[in-house]
Amino acid sequence: MASAAPAKTNTKKILKFDSEDDVAIALAEYTADLSEKFIKHKGSFSVVLSGGTLIETLRKLVELPYRDSVDWSKWLIFWVDERVVPLDHDDSNYKLAKLGFFSKVPIPSSNIYAINDKKSPEGAADDYEERLSHLVESKILPISDASGFPKFDLMLLGMGPDGHVASLFPTRHQRYEKKRCVTFITDSPKPPPPRITFTFPVINSASEIAMVVTGAELANTVKIALGNSHTPDSTPLPVTEVSAEGELTWFLDQHAASKL
């Protein structure tokens, strides 16, 4: 039976590193340690991935010594958001992970929960939500006592220059969805337009969240997100709404952290 590991209470940690390579090493150690902890506690480790540069930053995890120390057979892989394109399309986050991450470690294919790419954005979102419900009913995923939403062990998130996380954009209504686990968007300001995305209630129910941000082009957004420097009349960035039930850990290279 799935059960949630005891969680800390909404804590936040900010880690700064000299380079992106140092971020990758620290992220590998962090993820490997959490994998061991959750597998020991409940027999599995549920990991939610985002796309973009995150998969590349996970590269150290599939290298020695971490690759051989992790029990990959107990990993369950999900996507916090996905482009609604064929799984073999160059825009697919699944394809990106399959070529880079999954090709190097023995995660069972049955433990990798890709979207149904034969459906419309709305249909793909409904299908993914139904699959999460089934995993909850089957006691594979636990439910958060605090929120009532599925509780994942680790969310691995990135952030865009506009402060979006997953496919929850500043000017799109999906960021305000509070009832669904998964919703869809057909007019994403970042191509491709059709996507599905986890909602904030699910994201924030996670035991642990890693916010991985590298590069100078994100320094201003990091300053706003962590320095609370938006004006009273402006809409808060979506990234400021991220808050794990356990601990939210920011992984920043020196460029992303240069304006803090």
What pLDDT score does 232 carry?
Answer: 55
Average pLDDT in the chain = 93
CA 63, CA 20: separation in Å to the nearest integer?
16
What pLDDT score does 233 carry?
Answer: 57
Note the pTM of the prediction, 2 decimals.
0.93
**What's the pLDDT band for 52 if we cut at 50, 70, 90?**
confident
Eight-class DSSP state of 143: B
**Count of CA atoms in the C-beta half-sphere (13 A) of 257:** 15
**What's the pLDDT band for 5 if we cut at 50, 70, 90?**
very low
Average pLDDT over residues 46-74: 94
Residue 81, pLDDT > 70, answer yes
**Strand residues in 81-230 grouped as ranges (E):** 81-83, 154-157, 182-185, 195-198, 208-213
Segment 89-127, tens digit of pLDDT: 999 999 999 988 889 999 999 999 999 999 999 999 999
What pLDDT score does 9 carry?
Answer: 64
What pLDDT score does 188 carry?
Answer: 96
Q: Is 212:257 a contact under the CB 8 Å cutoff?
A: no
Domain ranges for the chain:
11-253
Segment 198-248, tens digit of pLDDT: 999 999 999 999 999 999 999 999 999 998 555 455 788 999 999 999 999
Residue 139, pLDDT > 60, answer yes
Q: Looking at domain 11-253, which CATH architecture does it have?
A: 3-Layer(aba) Sandwich (3.40)
- pLDDT > 90 fraction of the chain, expressed in percent and rounded: 89
Average pLDDT over residues 149-166: 97
For residue 185, which of 203, 160, 167 has the smallest C-alpha distance?
167
**What's the pLDDT band for 1 if we cut at 50, 70, 90?**
very low
- pLDDT > 70 fraction of the chain, expressed in percent and rounded: 94
What pLDDT score does 6 carry?
Answer: 45
What pLDDT score does 230 carry?
Answer: 56
Report the SS3 class of residue 226.
helix
Residue 138, pLDDT > 70, answer yes
**What's the pLDDT band for 3 if we cut at 50, 70, 90?**
very low
The strand pair at 182-185 and 247-253 is best described as unpaired
